[in-house]
Amino acid sequence: MISSSRIRRIWIVMLFISQSYAQQANDFAIIGERLTTSLLAAPVSTGQVERIITTMAKDGTWSTINYRDTSKTGFEHRIHLENLLAMAKAYNQPGSSYAHNVQLLVAFRAALQHWLEEDYRCENWWWNEIGTPDAMANILLLMRDELNADELAAGIAIAERSNFDGFGARPGGDFVKMAGIKAVTELVRRDTAEFARAIKTMSEQIYVTEDRGIKPDMSFHHRTDNVPSTLSYGAQYVRIFLYWADLVSETRFAFEPEAIALVTDYYLDGMRKAMPFGRFADPGIKNREVSRKSSAGRRSDYTGKLLARISNYRKEELEHPNLRSNQYFWYSHYHSHQRPKYFASVRMFSNRSNNMEYPHNEEGLKNHFYADGSQFISRTGREYFNIYPSWDWRKIPGTTVVQVDTFPHWKDLVKKGTTAFVGGVSDGEYGAATFDFLSPHSGLKAHKSWFFFDDEIVCLGAGITSTATQPVMTTLNQALSNGPVWLNDKRNTGEQEQQIEGPAWVNHDSTGYIVLNANRIWLRRGKSTGTWRSISHQDHATDEPVTQDIFTLAIDHGTQPKDDTYAYIILPAASESQTSAYAQHQPTEVVSNTKELQAVSNKLLGIHYAVFYEPGNIVFPGGIHLETNEPALFIIKAADKGIEQITVADPTRKLEKITFRLKFATSSDTTLTVQLPRGTLAGKSLRLDAISKNAKTFLLRSDTLAARRDRIWKGDRKFPLN
């Protein structure tokens, strides 16, 4: 006989289990309601619904859609899915004139039936495993109660093509998206266990890795070619995760705080460092998406606001963007520099990476030179807005390029880099980037470096050599024309094209350019025409001419230059009078610009940069002597009483240690051998802070990025970056 106490215990356990299941079911219903509310948030206009219904044929198709073209560059079938989703929303939106309208339901079912019968597939796997299942899952969720068993089963079968065994189920942005589609599908099917699995899988994709996903430097790679996709696939990765984090918050399915914290770190230390003023995308971090017409150049910080709402982790930084930073991403060959009035970046590639992403689905057809040391200056976010169909793709800002007569075929676009000495040094506030450039397209050689200060960026080039029969040009900028062009105190408001001899200064759109060398300078301001079709084969890209006023400033190195050089200074956010004054009294000094050594000093800031392509030595203004036994990058911060800080980096990511010797004008030598970051941190800058004022002793600091906590590493989940 069972005792009363045992019966009581069994009853308590059963009650707990019953309450647990009830709570889980209640949470499941809450999430479903939240998702439905989210899908219905954007209203569908009566006019849009009327057009969809009146233009639809009896068989549930639309004559404007090419149903025969299922190619990677076509697949207008997406419009059919968009129409189905619009009808589903209008049918369920409170206050809609078509809410629960019989005529709309009949039209919807006809269009749905056509799709279910034809079951369209695209040559691009993405549509079959992500695009179509995503649309179908949302359509089914909204219309579930109006569908019969056969319709529901056929629709779920399509949605289920987004699964964890599919071709696209690879770590990174797509996997998170596919987990989200599965979660919606399980809401339709009302399977709490499989829904929980989908949410768990999504959370498990949040980790730091050397493969696809968040890199140790907080950039993002969608593929294994080391091409950055921080604001494309990386942004999708964050956007989808946060969308679901908001949906499942305060339920039993809520994500772990560690996952939300890592996404916050990636957003602040990765994404936002590629977003001028934390508001819009830097053109320099983009890939094929430059060939897609944008609808807006500036946006609100929706991601930051959502993160701040979900969690208190780093909330102050989320709500108030840091407008004074410098960061080099050693996995992505990308350097960003933010100041209160401007943002600048440099994009490169090495023998550790490709220049551009592949596959690119026949988009970005002229991106051949896009990573050849491109440098973009942003102040308003409008400088390069939709400029791409019209501009000269041989003159990408910052690049040194052979001005080919015939552009290489788009099938020859993607190339692996050929040199190792490509990288940057940064102390978090100031930094420099360097590019031992050997073009895989033309064989052009150049040593290019960029030195970031507060009000200026010094750009140096040396060893510029080419055997091609076309001239070589270094482009200072190519941007949309806005306002007058000033050339050595002369104002011009009309179209112009001229060559002048340097030294000279130019100002356009509140940005100054000072050419220091006696180079031949090419200046153009006028109309340029092109088409979106010339840079993309996708069906949305048309042959309609796009004419825009464009400002271009470049240095002409002539044909077949040998060991040519350039030196210029960019003054972002400077008026013509400020540019003129700076040209006459420069606080920066180019100390060396050779194939072996490029070095710059800023006397006002007490900052000295050196890029040693080989072992060597240099004496900076003020008598600071630096000698290194290895090729390396250096930042020296000095004051009247001595050296305050040294930052060093190995751009090849190969060296284990660096030995260098320092001597201040009034002090004895200091020889240091420092162990460099290794493993996943190889290529990261190492900072040394002075312990005593005479700078004879230094404290070694592995300069970490902001707010590093426990890392989520694939496998053991704990990944300390220190």
- Yes or no: say if 272 and 338 are a contact pair by the CB < 8 Å rule: no
Is 336-591 the same fold as 43-162? Answer: no
The pLDDT of residue 664: 79
- Cα-based distances in Å from 595 to 62, 183, 440, 655: 63, 56, 19, 21
The type of residue at 54 is T
- Yes or no: say if 310 and 249 are a contact pair by the CB < 8 Å rule: yes
Written out in words, the top-level CATH class of the domain with range 43-162 is mainly alpha
Supply 471's token pair: 């001239």
CATH topology of domain 614-722: Chondroitinase Ac; Chain A, domain 3 (2.60.220)
Angle value at C-alpha 112, between 191 and 156, nearest 5 degrees: 20
- Cα-based distances in Å from 434 to 182, 347, 563, 610, 618: 45, 10, 17, 10, 18
Query: Is 336-591 a CATH 3.40.50.300 domain?
Result: no
The pLDDT of residue 703: 45
Read out DSSP for 610-632?
EEESSSEEEEETTTEEEEESS-E
The pLDDT of residue 148: 96
Which run of H or E residues covers position 245? Answer: helix 233-248
Q: Does 629 score more than 50 pLDDT? A: yes
Phi and psi, residue 684, nearest 5°: -75, 150
Written out in words, the top-level CATH class of the domain with range 165-292+301-322 is mainly alpha
Q: What are the residues facing 588 on neighbouring strands?
A: 602
pTM as predicted: 0.91
Mean pLDDT over 143-158 rounds to 97
Mean pLDDT over 359-378 rounds to 96
Q: What are the residues facing 82 on neighbouring strands?
A: none
CA-to-CA distance for 333 and 645, rounded, in angstroms? Answer: 24
In the chain, domain spans: 43-162, 165-292+301-322, 336-591, 614-722
Q: Which of 164, 70, 82 shows the shortest CA–CA distance to 122?
A: 70
Name the pLDDT band for 199 (thresholds 50, 70, 90): very high
Least confident of 117-131, 344-358, 559-573, 655-669: 655-669
Q: Does 683 score more than 60 pLDDT? A: yes
CA-to-CA distance for 35 and 518, rounded, in angstroms? Answer: 63
Least confident of 166-170, 412-416, 631-635: 166-170
Which value, in Å, is the radius of gyration of the alpha carbons in the chain? 29
- Yes or no: say if 431 and 634 are a contact pair by the CB < 8 Å rule: no
- Yes or no: say if 518 and 502 are a contact pair by the CB < 8 Å rule: yes
CA-to-CA distance for 328 and 343, rounded, in angstroms? Answer: 14
Q: Does 465 score more than 70 pLDDT? A: yes
The pLDDT of residue 700: 56
Spatial CB neighbours of 295, under 8 Å, sequence gap ≥ 6: none
Q: Which of 332, 314, 330, 311 shows the shortest CA–CA distance to 322?
A: 314
- Cα-based distances in Å from 350 to 336, 421, 444, 511, 689: 18, 8, 14, 30, 30
The pLDDT of residue 643: 87
Least confident of 171-180, 299-308, 517-526, 660-669: 660-669
Mean pLDDT over 482-505 rounds to 95
Supply 607's token pair: 């900052």
Mean pLDDT over 302-314 rounds to 94
Mean pLDDT over 138-155 rounds to 97
CA-to-CA distance for 114 and 348, rounded, in angstroms? Answer: 49
Spatial CB neighbours of 126, under 8 Å, sequence gap ≥ 6: 168, 174
Mean pLDDT over 579-583 rounds to 97
Q: Which of 452, 400, 405, 447 shows the shortest CA–CA distance to 431?
A: 452
Q: What are the residues facing 687 on neighbouring strands?
A: 647, 701
Read out DSSP for 543-558?
---EEEEEEEEEEEEE
Mean pLDDT over 631-644 rounds to 90
Q: In this predicted model, what pLDDT tens digit does every residue of 86-119 receive, in sequence order? A: 999 999 999 999 999 999 999 999 999 999 999 9
The pLDDT of residue 691: 53
The type of residue at 485 is V
The strand order across the sheet containing 374-378 reads 325-329, 334-339, 342-347, 374-378
Mean pLDDT over 465-473 rounds to 98
Mean pLDDT of the chain: 91
Supply 703's token pair: 């300069």
E strand map for 156-266:
213-214, 220-221
The pLDDT of residue 300: 72
Angle value at C-alpha 68, between 65 and 74, nearest 5 degrees: 70
CA-to-CA distance for 135 and 85, rounded, in angstroms? Answer: 7
- Yes or no: say if 668 and 693 are a contact pair by the CB < 8 Å rule: no
The total of other beta-carbon atoms located within 10 Å of residue 30's CB is 15
The total of other beta-carbon atoms located within 10 Å of residue 582's CB is 19
The pLDDT of residue 518: 83
Q: Does 297 score more than 60 pLDDT? A: no
Q: Does 613 score more than 80 pLDDT? A: yes
The pLDDT of residue 3: 66
Q: Does 298 score more than 60 pLDDT? A: no
The type of residue at 325 is S
Name the pLDDT band for 15 (thresholds 50, 70, 90): very low
Length of the chain, in residues: 722
The sign of the torsion formed by the CA atoms of 285, 289, 292, 296 equals: negative
Q: Identify the residue with better confidence: 320 or 667.
A: 320
Q: Are strands 657-663 and 642-649 parallel, antiparallel or unpaired?
A: unpaired
The pLDDT of residue 642: 79
Q: Does 639 score more than 90 pLDDT? A: no
Tell me whether the omega of the peptide bond preceding residue 408 falls within 30 degrees of 0, making it cis.
no
Q: Which of 171, 382, 196, 229 shows the shortest CA–CA distance to 297?
A: 382
Mean pLDDT over 228-254 rounds to 95
Supply 121's token pair: 């597939």
CA-to-CA distance for 79 and 86, rounded, in angstroms? Answer: 10
